[in-house]
Amino acid sequence: MPPLILPLACAFVATLAAPLTGENSYGPIPGQTPLYNDYRGISAPFPAGKVTGPTLPTASGPPGPEDYLWQNLVAAEWTILAFYQHAVELFNISSFTSLGLPITTYGRIVEIRDNEAGHLNIFYREISNTSTKPGPCEYDFGFEHPLDPEFFLGEQVFIELSSISFLSGLVNQAVSPTSRSALVVVGSVETRHNAWALTNSWGIDPFDGPADAAYPWPEQILGLTTRFIKNGSCPVANPAYPYPNQEKPAMSFITTVSSGHPGEAIQFTFPGHEPKWKHGKEYYAVFVHAINNITVPFDPKTGMSTVPAEFDSNRGLIYALIVDQPGAPCLESMLAGPLTLLQQPAALTTVIGGI
């Protein structure tokens, strides 16, 4: 009996209008080329090296309804690709075997780099021709010496978990079902990257629990990646990133007081500038983990609060923010944050600090 081939839904067929040649005007098509799976060169695959600046609109008209979403993701993905590319260039097989890690570690990092280039290509081609496609900036990831692979491995967990958070958050902003699907399937790849990092590099349980952290304002998570961008290094023609900018005062915490795990007291600080506290008003710390958030008291005089003991320990990450209304019901209630408290590996929160 011949195989049964069912017709695709009309809406899905519309997304496959490009010829299935493995390459089009935007270069190799992810999913139709081995480039983003098994290329092992030092130089990054397309679009890195080929696209060195912003691509200006080639058509007139209003921007596409999702262009700002994809522009945000392209800017973030340039950062993530640069993160892995810097590691590929700086390290080698012995950088990781010297830490007692498997000989396959460096090769897997190269493979993740290739995946990230494919993600960038996917996001890049989703921006309509009436909008600017962002180009790369210059970056500083904090590991510059060949003997820094352990620091890279720590930041890798932050990068991957942040990617999962902002991709899942942006699903609510996507207009079309196909865009929502694209965000979900790319997020699933980031999840596998993180699961590999936890098992291979840290030798721990790779499962984050029943759900990753669902944060309500994904632009703020995207904004956390700007810490890696060198000031003034982005092309002038690049769109604003992140857009809309929902920047709030940054938070950190004193690692000699707490490791940022459930049940511990925590003392927050506000590098840069502290929120303006009103005398007699109550303030709260909201901690977001999985699909829940828990509100606890916050003392603005001492910066003290408590990480909720109810959260499962050593799982995924916890986001902390300071608010003037329990539960952070709206953006206007948020006064500072978010602060990322990495939960696994347990030592990472104090090694890297709150991010």
Find out whether 200 and 219 touch, Cβ atoms under 8 Å: no
How would residue 349 be classed by pLDDT, with cut points 50, 70 and 90?
A: low
Find out whether 78 and 222 touch, Cβ atoms under 8 Å: no
How would residue 15 be classed by pLDDT, with cut points 50, 70 and 90?
A: very low
pLDDT of amino acid 350: 63
How would residue 27 be classed by pLDDT, with cut points 50, 70 and 90?
A: confident
- Cα dihedral: 52, 57, 58, 59 (round 10): 170
Q: Which of helix, strand or coil describes residue 62?
A: coil
Which residues are within 8 A (CB) of 4 and not within 5 positions of it... i.e. 6 or more apart?
none
CA–CA separation, 237 and 266 (whole Å): 42
CB atoms within 10 A of CB 333: 16
Mean pLDDT, to the nearest integer, of 303-316? Answer: 94
CA–CA separation, 262 and 307 (whole Å): 5
> Cα–Cα distances in Å, from 2 out to 5, 6, 8, 241, 265?
9, 12, 18, 51, 65
Beta bridge partners of 322: 285, 336
- For 263-301, how does the pLDDT look when each residue is reduced to its tens digit (9 = 90+)? 999 999 999 889 999 999 999 999 999 999 999 999 999
Helix axes 149-170, 67-90, angle to 10 degrees: 170
- For 175-213, how does the pLDDT look when each residue is reduced to its tens digit (9 = 90+)? 999 999 999 999 999 999 999 999 999 999 999 889 999
What does the mean pLDDT of the chain come to?
90
Mean pLDDT, to the nearest integer, of 216-228? Answer: 95
pLDDT of amino acid 147: 83
CA–CA separation, 184 and 188 (whole Å): 6
Find out whether 178 and 12 touch, Cβ atoms under 8 Å: yes
CA–CA separation, 78 and 219 (whole Å): 16
How would residue 10 be classed by pLDDT, with cut points 50, 70 and 90?
A: very low
Residue 280 falls in which region: left (phi positive, over 0), alpha (psi -120 to 50) or beta: left
- For 52-98, how does the pLDDT look when each residue is reduced to its tens digit (9 = 90+)? 999 999 999 999 999 999 999 999 999 999 999 999 999 999 999 99
Please give the DSSP secondary-structure letter assigned to residue 158.
H
How would residue 9 be classed by pLDDT, with cut points 50, 70 and 90?
A: very low
CA–CA separation, 265 and 253 (whole Å): 11
Provide the pairing of β-strand 304-306 with 252-253.
unpaired
CA–CA separation, 141 and 79 (whole Å): 10
Domains of the chain (ranges; CATH) run: 10-58+65-228 (no CATH), 252-352 (2.60.40)
- For 108-162, how does the pLDDT look when each residue is reduced to its tens digit (9 = 90+)? 999 999 999 999 999 999 999 999 999 999 999 999 988 899 999 999 999 999 9
Q: Which of 167, 170, 162, 190 has its CA nearest to residue 66?
A: 170
Q: Which of helix, strand or coil describes residue 347?
A: coil
Is the model's pLDDT at 6 over the cut of 50?
Answer: no
Please give the DSSP secondary-structure letter assigned to residue 209.
-
Find out whether 108 and 200 touch, Cβ atoms under 8 Å: yes
